[in-house]
Structure 1
Amino acid sequence: MGAATKKIQVGIVDDHSLLRKALAKLIGSFETYAVLFEGDNGKDIKTKITQNIIPDIVILDVNMPDMDGYETVRWLHKNYPQVKVLALSMFSDENTIIRMLRLGAKGYILKNIEPEELKLALDSIMKKDFYLSEYISGKIISGLHKDLGNPEDPIVLSDKEKEFLRLVCSELSYKDIADKMFISPRTVDNYRNTLFEKLKVRTRVGLVMFAIKNGLVDI
């Protein structure tokens, strides 16, 4: 790598000092990346970024005191949308993943991933604008890294299916979605199962991913 080539700048925000230092050391060993700053919580990153210390990527812990990952990614997406957020968590539950992606995170990884996957995640976010942990994508999504739909065989959704997808991206339960759409829970189940088949996904997170990637919801 030439001396004139600018390294990709990374901010690390996690309230666990030991993990944060280990991440910084690991990222510093990647040829094309450099750690720009570390922070304990969202307030730290907010202070640094408003002082014009702006990274390309922020690795952001979801659960932190003072200003957690949800509040931080919302603030970043609104004020500095060019900063790509890679969410970091010990949890792989659908609600946490959906909420972080819905608020603007470009990727989601677990704290127990191997060093090689962290590098893959950073590369993928920079090149493809998205990444989910291999464990998560294998567990909950089918065909994440291939385009959903082929220009020669476009996926056609009805207005009701689009409305259902938009509501799936909220924190409403399926029962609440049925009430909101004035339909029975059985009809909601039919929408969900039809879309699972049509979009080649297996879970609610897969539906959310399709909706976000295809501009059916605002983030």
Structure 2
Amino acid sequence: MSLNKSASRYMVAIADDHRLVAESLSHLINDIPGFEVILIGSNGKVLLDKLANSPTLPDIAILDINMPEMNGVATARQLSETYPNIRLLALSMNDDETSVIQMIRSGCRGYLLKDCTQSELQRAMTEILERGFYYSDFVTGKLIHTIHKEEKNPDQLVRLTEREMEFLKYAASEMTYKEIANSMKLSERTIDGYREALFEKLQVKSRVGLVLFAIRAGWVKADRT
């Protein structure tokens, strides 16, 4: 990966529709040795417009989720497509499973909550830039690592039944478990059984973990459109 390091500094872009939050975050990052904020956008579209006219591209972009005109999910998809060398970090108040899944599938290499500390933010940016991912207890770091490491295909190590594979693909959507049961014409108890069996087979502990494993295995594609 080619990074735009200048005088041992990493360049950072921010997309957040709350001006005070964005400015405070910028000051916080500029106080971290080795990092400099060069672009701030009030939403994804503004950030993309600024990137198109910027002589210097950032090494990492920090994205809020809930933004007007172009939200974090759409922004992450577009950045991943147009600027694949820019690493993406989600920073949001949303702590729900769906938000994490959407941002990871859209190209983010890590996910932080806005109540994180400056040291955790620094650690997240550094690990994403230098290792390609950030692992934390919140997103189950081992699974982020599983997505991005270039090693054995998990499909060679794990064998799923057709119904387990069908369930996994539904689980990677935004459907509730009840909706999945209806689509598969199974009881909710049976669906619970599939979920627990896959937790055991894939060595994960959450639905987010199932999605991350499925993307890495190539069973489910990360969204890019």
**TM-score w.r.t. length of structure 1:** 0.84
1:1-219 alignment runs, 5 A limit: 5-52=7-54, 53-134=56-137, 136-137=138-139, 141=140, 143-144=142-143, 147=146, 154-219=157-222
Q: What code does the residue aligned with 2:88 have?
A: V
Q: Distance in 2 between matches of 1:147 and 1:171?
A: 22
Q: SS state of the match for residue 89, structure 2? A: strand
Inter-CA distance 169–16: structure 2 relative to 1 (3 Å threshold): same
The structural deviation recorded for 1:60 is 0.5
Unaligned runs of 5+ in 2: none
State the alpha-carbon separation in 2 of the partners of residues 142 and 26 from structure 1: 24
Structure 1 residue matching 2:173: 3-state secondary structure: coil
- Structure 2: which amino acid aligns with 1:216? W
1-structure distance, mates of 2:21, 2:141: 31
CA distances 1:153-182 after superposition (whole Å, capped 9, x unpaired): 933333432332222111112232233334
- Compute the displacement of 1:131 (Å): 2.3
Give RMSD over aligned pairs.
2.6
If asked which structure has higher relative contact order (CA below 8 Å, sep 6+), I would say: 2
Q: Is the 8 A contact 2:9 2:34 kept in 1?
A: yes
Shift of 1:132: 5.0
